[in-house]
Structure formats: C-alpha cells, structure tokens
Chain A
Amino acid sequence: MAIFIQQLCNGLALGLVYALVAVGYSLVFGILRLINFSHGAVYAFGAHAAFFFVGLNFGPVPAIIAALVITGLLGVVIDKTALAPLRKKRSVPIAALVTTLGISNIIQNLLVVKFGSQRKPFPDFFNLGAFTLGGIQFSSRQFVMFGVSLVLLLLLLLVVNKTKIGLAMRATAQNAKAASLMGINVNSIITLTFLMGGASAAIAGGMVGGYYQVVYPGMGFMIGLKAFAASVLGGIGSLPGALVGGLLVGVIESIAALYIGSNYRDSMAFIILIVVLIVRPAGLFGKNEVVKV
C-alpha cells in the first residue's frame, strides 16, 4: 500500500509536468490546427537553458526564469522563421507538420553541438528533503513539482478564460477571420501562443531536470510524445483536457510500472493514445462543434 501511494504521488507529479508540456501542443493546435512536433525539442532546449544559467551561478529560480524567457522566444522564432512563411503562402497543412519535425531535429542537434550528447548532472535544486507521513516516506521534490505545475496550469487557465487577451485567443481559435474583423491582431495572438507554449515547456524541462538531476539533448523525445498522447486523450485544443490527460497518463504509467513492470512504463501513454483514438477520437474534453446553417 505504501508503495502504491508513493507511486501515485509520483504519477501525479509527473502527470502535471506532462500536462504542462501538453498545453503547448493544445495551445498551438487550438489556434493553428497544427501539431507542433518540435515541442519536445523545445522542452529539451528549456532544460538545457536552465542548465546553462545554473552553470552561470544564476541560482535555481532566476535560472529557470531566464530559461523560460529564452525558450519562449525560441518558440516565437520558430514560428516567425519557419511556420509563418508557410501560412503566408497558404501551403498544405502537411508542410507545416513536416517542418516542425525538421525543427525538432535542428534544435536537438544544436544542443548536441553546444552541450554534447552525454547526460549532464543537473543540480537537485528543489529538494527540501524527504519526509514521512502516516508511515510512508515521500520525497519533497514531487510535491514541489506538483505544486509549481498546478499553479502554472491554473494561471494559464485563468488567463485564457478570464482575461481580454484570453478571450481574443479563444475567438482566434474558433474563427481567425472573424477574430480579425473584431480588431484582433491574429499574428500577435499566434506569437503569444508560441511564447506561452515555449515558456511552459521550459518550466517543465527545468523541473524534470531537477527531478531526475540530469539533462541531455534527447530528453524531449519521449516526454514530447507522451504529452502529445496526453493532449489527445484530453481532447487536443482543450486546456482542461491537457491537464486531465497529463494527470491520467502520469498516474496510469506509474501504476502500470508498479503492477505490470517498469519496462512497460513508457508504452502506457501510447496504449492509451490508441484506445482513445478508437473509442473517443475527440478526447475527453473535445467536442465536435455544432455548425448551424
């Protein structure tokens, strides 16, 4: 029982990090109907940026903030240099999709060039020590990761659902042409979306770096795919969906690691993905929009 609860906490903490990455997929998909497969590499970039700034003796929190800013900007640069020109030429959607795969490779290789391909130790910066509760030992890292992710996700939900700019984002996601008629600068909204996606990936990357105390250029590959699975599970384009999807993937894989064996851990997200696509293609929170004529 103790180990079950430990695994559950582990799953919840990891799940919220998946959610933090998953919102990046959902935000971009919501606005552009594009699955941004460079997002995993952006996450790895964020972790390395945090690693870099920690190395400059920034201290952990300022390092994460610096990483957040620079990674958010990376997201914007990706859009402005590679994706925006495709939109302007009204190219087929698959072109943008393949472009994001290419960008993913470019980012990963740049990370190898700058930092080397080996695993590098990352400081254990948010470990407040272990503690015992009801006879079960917990690591405080999980709780910090869970708390920070939850606050950020709620903040994001608040911005999207309660602010003027959030309303503009939702309007743009539903009908970009009508949004521009309302006076919304659609290009700025797209820029903001990439900025938010990049920044949340950077925070996730920095925290996972601290959690496992390691960073390496390929670290975004698996989590990127898992977060993608999580966003599809929740209903891609939906932020609450990304949150719930991330939590489910995190918890299910942790529990599966316990009962089925840790070798199957990484496959759980994809088993979930396949089942969702068959049973409920729109995802948990996704809906087929009503169009009246």
Chain B
Amino acid sequence: MLLKITGLNAFYDNVHALKNIDLTIEKGEIVSLIGSNGAGKTSTLSCITGLVAARSGRIVYKDRDITNFPAHKIVGLGISLSPEGREVFPGLTVEENLRLGMYAKGGRKESAPYARVYELFPRLKERNQQIAGTLSGGEQQMLAIARALMSEPELLLLDEPSLGLAPNLVLLIFELIKEISKQGVTILLVEQNANMALLVSNRAYVLETGRVALSGESGSLLNDENIKKAYLGNVS
C-alpha cells in the first residue's frame, strides 16, 4: 500500500471540512476522488501535502506517518501535487517553472526529467523560454502537470486538471494521465468531471460534504444509478 489515510478530520476555522476520511491507494493505481463543490476533494489533497493541518487521523505514506508534515518536505518524499487552478509562477519562464519542479532534488542538474516532460508535452518544449503567465489556459495546465512530474514522484496528485479546458483538450489531458500512469506513476485524481474520471481510473471515492459517501471499482460506480443521477447527469 502506497498511501493510507485513516479517520482524517480537518477544519477551516469552525467549518468541519473533512469528516473521518478513509482512503487507500495501491502502487500503480489511478484512484479518482469525485464529488461536487465543497465536498472536500481539494481539502483531502491539501492535508496530504501539508497545506492544511489535519486535526485528527493519520496519513501514512510507504509505512511512514506523514500527518502534518510541513508542505515543503512532502515533495522530497515522492509526493507531488499539480494544484487546482494551475498555480504556475506567472512571471517566470516555462523552463524556470520546470526547474523549480525539481528544486527538492537538490543541486543536481539532470536532463532526464526535462526529456520526459518534453516528450509528454512537446508544446512546452517549443515554448520553454516563454513567460508562463502568457501561456494559454491549457498550456498552463500542462505546465502545472509537467512541473509536478519534474521531481519524479511516485505518487502524483492531480487537482481538477480538466477545469476550464476546451473539450478536445480535456480528452488530451486524460490521455496524458493514462500515459503517465503507464510510466509507473501512481495517481490520485480529483475531478468534477466524474464521467471522465471514472473512465480513466481503477477505483474511485465519492465525497459528499466532507465524507466518503461511496467507494469502489470505477467501472461499477460508472453503472451505479445513484452516481449517474447525482454526478454523471446522463440518467437513462
């Protein structure tokens, strides 16, 4: 087991954002986390990456308790986040953004991570000297994912990678997610696009107001009548 979350509770002031979340991820899986706005998807990722403090519960990564580790120590462990809203460094070039992605790897200047992300995202190679803030939304999303890959993580957390993208780009991003998974990276995927998320993932958790409402094989959730009604919008 790569990541195991048990009984996780988190608060924003007095708002109880996560209520006893239990979640496991096996090595090599794509696990998706779906649910509506405010269900606790991003909060879960924020707890894993140390951006939000857990009030109780445990987050164990590779048999190591990482609950409430400071954010800057997480990436060095092999967990990397492509955050919601991309959060690229707008005034830095694409290349500088990528270089920051491997900041945690120390002073070593490696070319392998660049080669890998440039192969996945040829557009970024073309534009590696462009200022990130001037990229299109889709390119910024690619940059955010590429930057997260630069640290060569074992566990990649993707928060809403398809948000605000044109339909053909959404398809492209999901193709890339499958490709990254094939390269041996375990992926935790947070999505509002439940349909796509369930299609691409092995297993899924459905969050509702901070709780795990349902979980199981993605294929069976895809055919679940309640899920269809609540999240997929294609009642048949």
Contact = CB atoms under 8 A, between A and B. Distances in A.
Interface of A: 164, 167-168, 170-171, 174-175, 177-186, 289-293
Contact of A289 (B87, B133, B135): B133
Contact of B75 (A164, A182, A186, A293): A182
Interface string B125-158: 0000000011111001000000100010000000
Contact of A167 (B90, B96, B104): B96
Nearest to B49: A181
A290 B134 contact: yes
B92 A171 contact: yes
Given A164-B107, A182-B103, A182-B104, A290 B90 contact: yes
A183 B92 CA distance: 17
- Of all A-B residue pairs in the complex, the 10 with the closest CB atoms, nearest first, are A183-B104, A180-B71, A290-B133, A178-B87, A183-B75, A174-B89, A182-B103, A182-B100, A185-B72, A180-B72
A292 B137 contact: yes
A292 B90 CA distance: 9
B103 A174 contact: no
A181 B75 contact: yes
A165 B72 CA distance: 15
A50 to B, nearest CB: 35
Contacts of A292: 133-137, 140
A184 B73 CA distance: 8
Contacts of A167: 92, 96, 99-100, 103
Given A185-B72, A186-B72, A178 B89 contact: yes
Given A167-B92, A168-B100, A175-B87, 15 more contacts: A167-B100, A170-B89, A170-B96, A174-B91, A175-B89, A177-B83, A178-B87, A180-B50, A180-B70, A181-B74, A183-B103, A183-B104, A184-B103, A185-B70, A289-B90
Most buried by B among A182, A186, A293: A182
Most buried by B among A170, A177, A292: A292
Given A178-B83, A293-B164, A170 B140 contact: no
B54 interface: no
B151 A183 contact: yes
Nearest to A287: B91
Contacts of B222: none
B91 A293 contact: no
A179 B71 CA distance: 9
A164 B100 CA distance: 9
Nearest to A290: B133
A159 to B, nearest CB: 15
B28 interface: no
Contacts of B72: 180-186
A177 B136 CA distance: 22
Nearest to B148: A181
Contact of B90 (A179, A183, A186, A291): A291
A174 B76 contact: no
A164 B103 contact: yes
A171 B96 CA distance: 9
A282 to B, nearest CB: 13
B88 interface: yes
A182 to B, nearest CB: 5
A181 B74 CA distance: 8
Contacts of A171: 89, 92, 100
Nearest to B51: A177
Contacts of A186: 72
A181 B89 contact: no
A180 B49 CA distance: 10
B185 interface: no
B78 to A, nearest CB: 11
B113 interface: no
A193 to B, nearest CB: 16
A67 to B, nearest CB: 32
A291 B49 CA distance: 24
Contacts of A174: 89-92
Interface string B36-76: 00000000000001110000000000000000001111111
B146 to A, nearest CB: 13
